[in-house]
C-alpha cells in the first residue's frame, strides 16, 4: 500500500494559493469517511502567502501533518477537488472562459440560454422602438 503525506499532496495543487481551502476540504473528507488518514506528530508550512490588512509583507501558516493511503478513490477525489480549486474565485463568481467551460465550472447550455434571451429582448426592444417611431412620423 502506498502512503503519502498531506504536505506532499498540497504541493501537487495547480493553485497553491488555495492550499488552506484544500486542507479544510481534505479534513472534511476524512471526517466523512471518504478515505482514511491519520495525524502525524510534525507540522508543515502551507505554500499560501497570507497578508494582513493595513501592514506590508506576507506570512505563511503551519498546519498538522497527516498521512493517508493513496487509493483510486482518493485520486478521483483529488482530481475533482483540484479542478474546483484551480479557478481563482473572487466574489464567488467564475468568469466564463473556454478553460472554465471545459473544466465544467461554467454551464455552457445555461450561458447559451441567457445569451439567446438577451438577444431576443434586444431585438424586441428595437422592433418596438421602430414601430413607435413609424407611428409618430405618419401623424
Q: Which domain holds residue 25?
A: 3-95
Q: Is residue 101 part of a domain?
A: no
CB within 8 A of 136, min separation 6: which ones? none
Same domain, 85 and 114: no
Q: What pTM value is reported for the model?
A: 0.59
Domain count, the chain: 2
Give the model confidence (pLDDT) of 31-83 as tens digits: 998 888 999 999 988 888 878 888 888 888 889 999 998 888 999 999 888 88
- Same domain for 65 and 127: no
Residue 79 lies in a domain: yes
For residue range 87-122, what is the model confidence (pLDDT) as tens digits? 655 556 777 888 888 877 788 888 899 999 999 999
Amino acid at each position: 500500500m502506498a502512503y503519502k503525506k498531506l504536505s506532499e499532496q498540497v504541493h501537487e495543487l495547480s493553485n497553491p494559493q488555495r492550499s488552506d481551502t484544500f486542507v479544510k476540504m481534505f479534513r472534511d473528507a476524512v471526517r466523512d469517511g471518504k478515505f482514511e488518514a491519520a495525524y502525524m506528530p510534525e507540522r508543515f508550512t502551507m505554500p499560501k502567502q497570507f497578508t494582513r490588512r493595513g501592514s506590508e509583507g506576507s506570512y505563511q501558516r503551519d498546519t498538522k501533518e497527516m498521512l493517508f493511503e493513496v487509493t483510486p478513490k482518493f485520486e478521483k477525489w483529488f482530481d475533482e477537488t483540484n479542478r474546483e480549486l484551480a479557478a481563482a474565485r473572487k466574489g464567488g463568481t467564475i468568469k466564463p472562459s473556454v478553460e472554465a467551460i471545459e473544466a465544467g465550472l461554467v454551464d455552457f447550455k445555461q450561458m447559451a440560454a441567457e445569451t439567446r434571451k438577451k438577444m431576443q429582448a434586444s431585438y424586441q426592444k428595437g422592433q418596438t422602438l421602430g414601430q413607435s417611431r413609424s407611428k409618430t412620423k405618419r401623424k
